[in-house]
Structure 1
Amino acid sequence: MKLKNLVVLLAVIMIVAMMVIPMPTFMLDILLILNLSISILILLIAMNTKESLDFSIFPSLLLLTTLFRLALNVSSTRSILSKAKAGNVIETFGNFVIAGNAVVGFIVFLILVIIQFLVITKGAERVAEVAARFTLDAMPGKQMSIDADLNAGMISDKDARGRRQKIEREADFYGSMDGASKFVKGDAIAGIIILIINVIGGFIIGMTMHGMDFSQALSTFTLLSVGDGLVSQIPALLISTATGIIVTRAASDGSLGDDLTKQIFAYPVLLYIVAAVIALLGVVTPIGIILTWGIAGLIAFGGFTMQRSRIKSEEAEENLQSEQELEEVRKPENVFNLLREDPIEFEFGIGLIKLADATQGGDLLDRVVAIRRQIAMELGLVVPVIRIRDNIQLRPNEYSIKIKGNEVANGEILLDHFLMLNPGAEEHGIEGIETTEPTFGLPALWVNEEMKDHAEMFGYTVVDPSSVISTHLSETIKKYAHEILGREETKQLIDHVKEGYPSLVEELVGQTLSVGEIQKVLQKLLKEHVSIRSLSTIFEALADNAVYTKNPDILTEYVRQGLSRQLTSQHTQNGVIHALRVGAGIEKKLAESIQRTEQGDILALDPESNQRMLQSFTESIQQSSQLEIRPIILTSAGIRMFVRQVTEIAFGDIPILSYNELEPNVEVQSVGVVNL
């Protein structure tokens, strides 16, 4: 057995022996001072612990100190009743409290006992009981939280094991405190009973056995009983206070003193209010201004000192943070942060900050959220977070839209004005600043509020600056959606489909096609403004045809045919599709110009034929425009993608469909035939 364990065992045995073996008064004085010292030490430890488990030995220590205190009570009572003496410590405490008046001293002592028993001891007992109950009730939820974090990979097995052990220790601790608090309550009751026995028994013994008269016996034994009670109850009061602190202690990062100064004095301005109330109390009451104003001045000075200290602390923290950020920037590995690029950026001049500031009534941020939802619904593309920031290098009213760090669109708007599309607005006397609508390049006017109402009366389209920006941003994202969709975004879409169609995804991804090959097909669809929202249909078509070819161009054609119902619905107007048919001459020329290579089919069309084809398409499209019809270009399935290659640069916005991509029940009205 280790020496320290042997010392503890001997100490407990000696405590029990004290209840039976008489002790000399000098030894009693030593043990009483030791008891007081231990109580003070326990109180200080309780105040400086951060968590209750930091003082987990407290329940056992509470039992031992209670037993030690009761043993001292028994020894001191034996000495008082048998010798009418109890040592210097007890007599000193008795004289200090009684101070020549036994009645007043006895009443003061009773008040002290009542405070300990009814306030601190009862309160600590109740808090310990409630804490034990709530700790046990919370155990299943805490265990489930640990299991969830472990399954999610947020913590390791070692961390989970440590957290479970902590929960078990907390339950054991608060359960022990619930029982140990009963010792404190019993100790307080025993102290009151022992006091009554000492006074009554001592009074009788003093008159019968020690030959004292009535007044001498009453004075002597009251003094010794009160002194003995104080020597016992003051340590008991300290232990009871420590018990209350332990069971009411919430987990924190500091001691009780740190928490008190941080939380109670966290609002220095409130001290000024307290100082003003105290100062006013001295004016309107007979207390006087000398006392109240002095205390108010001290409180106000304390508030000023804490406020100044807090400001200095915040400045020091900001400086330290700035130094840490600068140090982080200086690290060689942080150079890679400069290589990061945002998928989509929206920059604006300082004059347009109002549109992005919600406190000034700006709704641009809300509109951006709506744009992301709209594109997800229309194209099936999850748009990444759009970085919005001001740029002093831009003109005050200018804005810029960037895709992966490169500017793809810009514009300029006038705040406090409205954009009105201008097909002959001068005929109705509408005046404004001539401009070009940034999204579609149409002629427009910037008009003021008065002219806005005037224009709306004549049926003109008038939009506010936020709508101009949001429309431009939305159309730009749709135009460059194929560039925004990368492998990472494709993987996220695949994972989303896997939740509902696990077998389909397992068959397609990895075994048949890679993520990159699927990405290429989706990009080609988005480039022609075909929605990829129906990913399950797209994946079904890929799974059916990828066993024959891995060529993304051909796979895209198969997917488009699988989306025939969607494409037909997308381009149908009032149940009819208006189409420019590609003539047999162009189809034959394109078919003859296709060359087979190892990388796939390529179009080797001579420049002269290419120019003649573009001229024919231009003339036919212009004729359709005169009829106010926006047609599609309709061709055979085998050469659709090559017709797209020829017309992409000049007519990238005009849909090109094959006959296989239309539902058989749709009505197709021919508005012309394109021939060489």
Structure 2
Amino acid sequence: MTPSLDLRQIGRSAGAAALPVGMLILVGLMVIPVSPTILDISFVGNIMISLAILMVALSASKPLDFSAFPTVLLLATLFRLALNVASTRVVLVHGHEGTASAGHIIEAFGQVLIGGDYVVGLFVFVVLMIINLVVITKGAGRVSEVSARFTLDALPGKQMAIDADLNAGLLTPEEAKARRQEVATEADFYGSMDGASKFVKGDAVAGLLILFVNIVGGLILGMASHGLSFSEAGSTYVTLAIGDALVAQIPALLLSIAAAAIVTRVNSPLDLSGQIGSQFASPQVWMAVGGILFIFGLVPAMPQMLILPAAALALALGWQMRRAAALADAAPPPALPAADPHHIEWADVSEASPCQLEIGYALVALVDERKGAPLMGRITGIRKQLSKELGFVISAVKVSDDLSLPGNSYRISVAGVIVGEDEIFPNELLALDSGDLVTQVSGRPCKDPTFGLDALWIPKSSQNDAIAAGYTVVDPATVVATHLNNSIIASASELFGLDDAQALIDHLKLHYPQLAQNLSPQSYALPRVAGLCRALLEERVPLRDFRKIAEAMVTLSGQQLGDVELVEAVRQRIGALIIQTIVPARMPLPVVTFNPEVEMLLNQAVRANPGAEWPFEHGMAMKILGEIGQAVEPLLLSTRSFALVASPICRSALSRLVRATFPDVAVISYLEIPANKATEIVATIGAEPARLGHDDTDEMKDEPHEI
């Protein structure tokens, strides 16, 4: 089988070989005499290259699409100057032989384009020089200078914006890297263009000086060396000099236009012609132009035979554009192909987003863009905030209406499991009982969907009365958003998957490549990294500082630890991160502890059932939960932050037991508390530890479990 050719690789190889050869040719044109035939071929090639550069510049959608332009401009300028040196040598050496001695291209520009009068040609050249040097080159140079200055000034802000989008989860690490590369390339491009514009200006000045050298040198050589009269020498050498100058100035003018077009471009998905055409395709513009020209044409001194047809053309263009726009608006949308009732798509049986919010028909106004979509904006804000707090990107929340739900009901699902549902009234407000009411207001009694507080649904007209009475008043969109926020936090581990773990590792590679390399797959397989992260999220430990977690895992990689042991060992090494999620750094940590005898019983139960998910005997577990409830419920009602502290041996099993009843209670071990962290014991569990022993097992089976 013949191997397929990589055209890009061939192009790169050919380009790599062509550049050194091209530079040798440029040097050769400057120092080695060449024949008029080679000059003609080179001049045609110069014009062709200049036209190609101009066409690429005009078709670029944004300046960076032609990022090689500064270097291409330099090479084209050097090529043209080398041709000027070679043609000057030919003109001065063989100019006495006639106007055809320097080749047909110079002769054509010297005779045809200047109309046979070298004085006219001299003025034409001067006019082209003024246009190129004073107008185009100077303007392009100024635009390049200002663009380079503003691009460099904006560089730090653009880098910070990319980092912010990356941290918010709006960009992947690969996209952020590409954006940074694009910003750096943009700064390099405009900086190079600022210098490249000086090449164009210097080339124009060099053309003027070369013309002066050719004229003066030709007159001297023609009269002194070849015996020509002043008029004969002037007619021959001036014609050749002007032809040489014009044949070089035309490509220079094309390159100046290309440079000006590049630096004045604005980023657009269209090329220059498409961008201009789309912005001039306005019927009002051409109708106004036609009307003004028609008024000018009515003035007696104006040439009506020229202005009136132009007015008619402009009016016809405007009318045609208006007619085309009307037909486009009136045209029916293309008919979609009829759906096959027997064909089933994957979208019909699966959901792309693991987090869903289904609403009844009466709540559609909350997500209707025509009415401001108040709920959608809050959902977007929740995703950004939770992504920042939890340390990984929360997937998009799919919002859909469900006709099977009652009109005012909504349902929250995570990974296919319903984690919350309730009903709200979109035209009313929810007044929460703050516990310190001055007076009562009338309304529909209910429970707050998120926290279970006593509340009332009240009319919007009663808002001020409810606030004055001491209620906390929130709108329906906020009620749903708060419920969704808490549901996502409680189910964060269900939203974290292998792709999220890989994204954390990829982000780690950008800043800590050695750490990422030692973490996975060298020390831990990706599923085990994801499992540890899910275990931390289950106990509401965020992954914001994944570097610290990864360092702990790499440090423990030499030990043969099971999954539970690994989680506990990592928690002990990131204890400071866990504690700071409970209380601020300067505050002592309020803790609820166990009586030593009770803690000993818990440890014995775990040792007796190593590896068991529920090692505690049922009656014992119920009594433990009862006493924990008595100790923590006053703290929960007062919204005071605290932690339940236990032995490292039983912490994991105890956390699973407590989390089922008190999901907001953090269970930590003694080893997770930093040595410099002050603690404050606010309650002790197990005033009568003997009653939790196994001697009372038979009594627990027959009597209610009370402590």
Normalising by structure 2, report the TM-score.
Answer: 0.57
State the Cα distance separating 1:415 from its structure 2 match: 4.1
Choose the corresponding residue for 2:392, options 383, 402, 405.
Answer: 383
**Given residue 277 of structure 2, which amino acid in structure 1 is its aligned partner?**
F
Residues 409, 476 of structure 1: 8 Å contact kept: yes
Q: Which residue of 1 aligns with 2:698?
A: none
- Describe how 1:400-411 pairs up with structure 2 within 5 A: 401-404=412-415, 407-410=418-421
Q: Which residue of 1 aligns with 2:618?
A: 610
Q: 1:614 to 1:586 in 2, by over 3 A?
A: farther
State the Cα distance separating 1:416 from its structure 2 match: 5.2
Matched, 1:455 2:466: yes
Q: Distance in 1 between matches of 2:277 and 2:458?
A: 57
- Describe how 1:255-266 pairs up with structure 2 within 5 A: 261-266=273-278
- What is the number of residues matched between the two proteins? 571
Q: Distance in 1 between matches of 2:207 and 2:574?
A: 80
Q: Which residue of 2 aligns with 1:243?
A: 252
Q: Which residue of 1 aligns with 2:293?
A: 278
Q: 1:237 to 1:450 in 2, by over 3 A?
A: same
**Given residue 382 of structure 1, which amino acid in structure 2 is its aligned partner?**
G
**Given residue 639 of structure 1, which amino acid in structure 2 is its aligned partner?**
C
Secondary structure of 1:391 counterpart = strand
Matched, 1:669 2:683: yes
Q: Distance in 2 between matches of 1:512 and 1:461?
A: 52
Q: 1:296 to 1:652 in 2, by over 3 A?
A: same
Residues 110, 243 of structure 2: 8 Å contact kept: no
Task: Encode CA deviations 1:588-615: one digit per residue, 9 max, x unaligned.
Answer: 4884586557xx345466xxx5267436
Q: Distance in 2 between matches of 1:117 and 1:352?
A: 71
Q: Distance in 2 between matches of 1:304 and 1:232?
A: 52
Q: Distance in 2 between matches of 1:38 and 1:535?
A: 60
Task: Give the gaps of 5 or more residues in structure 2.
Answer: 1-24, 58-65, 101-108, 150-175, 179-187, 220-228, 263-269, 693-704
Q: 1:337 to 1:272 in 2, by over 3 A?
A: farther
Q: Which residue of 2 aligns with 1:298?
A: 313
Choose the corresponding residue for 1:474, options 479, 485, 494.
Answer: 485
Q: Distance in 2 between matches of 1:276 and 1:347?
A: 57
Larger radius of gyration: 1
**Given residue 265 of structure 1, which amino acid in structure 2 is its aligned partner?**
G
Q: Which residue of 1 aligns with 2:164?
A: none
Q: 1:75 to 1:172 in 2, by over 3 A?
A: farther
Residues 439, 475 of structure 1: 8 Å contact kept: yes
Secondary structure of 1:438 counterpart = coil
Residues 644, 667 of structure 2: 8 Å contact kept: yes
State the Cα distance separating 1:266 from its structure 2 match: 3.2
Q: 1:507 to 1:431 in 2, by over 3 A?
A: same
Secondary structure of 2:302 counterpart = coil
Q: Which residue of 2 aligns with 1:211?
A: none
Q: 1:576 to 1:590 in 2, by over 3 A?
A: closer
State the Cα distance separating 1:13 from its structure 2 match: 4.3
Decide which moves more: 661-670 or 535-544: 535-544
State the Cα distance separating 1:552 from its structure 2 match: 2.2
Secondary structure of 1:297 counterpart = helix
**Given residue 278 of structure 2, which amino acid in structure 1 is its aligned partner?**
A
Q: Distance in 2 between matches of 1:653 and 1:583?
A: 24
Q: Which residue of 2 aligns with 1:217?
A: none
- Describe how 1:107-506 pairs up with structure 2 within 5 A: 115-116=127-128, 118-119=130-131, 178-179=202-203, 182-183=206-207, 186-187=210-211, 240-250=249-259, 261-267=273-279, 268-269=281-282, 270-282=285-297, 286-287=301-302, 291-303=306-318, 341-342=352-353, 344-345=355-356, 367-368=378-379, 370-372=381-383, 374-375=385-386, 381-388=390-397, 390-393=399-402, 401-404=412-415, 407-410=418-421, 412-415=423-426, 417-422=428-433, 428=439, 430-493=441-504
Q: Distance in 1 between matches of 2:95 and 2:328?
A: 51
Identity of aligned residues (%): 21
Q: 1:118 to 1:407 in 2, by over 3 A?
A: same
Q: Which residue of 1 aligns with 2:629?
A: 621
Q: Distance in 2 between matches of 1:517 and 1:16?
A: 71
State the Cα distance separating 1:469 from its structure 2 match: 3.4
How large is the Cα RMSD of the aligned pairs? 6.9
Choose the corresponding residue for 1:526, options 537, 540, 555.
Answer: 537
Q: 1:38 to 1:587 in 2, by over 3 A?
A: closer
